[in-house]
């Protein structure tokens, strides 16, 4: 199972991700930390393809 939205800084599997703010899309290789969006600097991504981030992966200061 995967999370649909992944914050910047998360280690993710290879795939495509779309910025929830400006809709810019990026592709990343496996086990890469997602950067802030290079276009608008927002830090929340939607998983377009790939496995994204594990559902069990905790985030500091998030419920």
Q: For the chain, how many structural domains are there in total? A: 1
Is 63 within a domain?
no
Is 21 within a domain?
yes
Please give the residue range of the domain that contains residue 45: 5-50
Over the stretch 37-62, which tens digit does the pLDDT of each residue have?
Answer: 999 999 999 999 866 555 545 554 44
Is 19 within a domain?
yes
Is 37 within a domain?
yes
Is 58 within a domain?
no
- Whole-number pLDDT of residue 63: 43
> Higher model confidence: residue 6 or residue 32?
6
DSSP for 6-61, please give it.
EETT-EE-SEEEEETTT--EEEE-TTEEPPPPTTT---EEEEEEE--SBTT---TT
Is 35 within a domain?
yes
Residue 22 above 90 pLDDT?
yes
Is 36 within a domain?
yes
Is 57 within a domain?
no
Residue 31 above 60 pLDDT?
yes
């Amino acid at each position: 199972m995967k999370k649909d939205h992944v914050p910047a800084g998360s280690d993710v599997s290879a795939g495509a991700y779309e910025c929830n703010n400006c809709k810019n899309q990026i592709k990343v290789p496996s086990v890469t930390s997602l950067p802030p969006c290079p276009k608008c600097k927002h830090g929340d991504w939607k998983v377009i393809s790939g496995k994204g981030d594990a559902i069990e992966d905790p985030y500091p200061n998030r419920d």
